Copies of this chain bind each other. A is one copy, B any other.
């Protein structure tokens, strides 16, 4: 048995308002559910990016239809990568500069493809990368 893919990717961000501004305005994701101070959820391609405040999700029980959501909540810098077309990399660099987001590192991978790394307001390492870094074709 194996899953069809990843449905939910998580980032933890104690300051939800700052996190929402970053993932909405800089990354360009559409928020579709907002429940401060617990979470803001975004659609992204064929899945969702769930941004949680770990102070809430690690301590407060949520009950749904007679069941309980498992507690979770990590601390410290996590990591996520977004898929961008190689033809848009220069536009992403300009876009990040326009928003005052510093590029921490940029890598041209020996196997092909490129990555650009920035930080979100919680200090998570956020990467914009071409699918070719993993040998995947661009959709």
Give the B-binding residues of A (Cβ under 8 A).
1-10, 12, 27-29, 43-50, 52, 54, 57-58, 64-65, 67-85, 88, 91-92, 95, 104-110, 117, 119, 124-125, 127-129, 131, 133-134, 136, 138-139
Closest 4 CB pairs of A and B: A5-B45, A2-B28, A8-B81, A3-B82
Note all chain B residues with C-beta closer than 8 A to A43. Answer: 134
Q: Which B residues touch A12, using CB under 8 A?
A: 74, 78
Instruction: Report whether A107 and B64 are in contact in the complex, using a CB–CB cutoff of 8 Å.
Output: yes
Name the B residues within 8 Å of A128 (CB-CB): 3
A5 / chain B contacts, CB cutoff of 8 Å: 44-47, 82-83, 139
Known: A73-B76, A74-B76. A81 touches B7 (CB 8 A): yes
11 new A-B contacts at CB < 8 Å, known A8-B129, A65-B108: A3-B29, A5-B83, A6-B49, A7-B127, A10-B79, A46-B139, A58-B76, A64-B107, A65-B107, A70-B125, A75-B76
* A107 partner residues in chain B, CB cutoff 8 A: 64-65, 67, 69
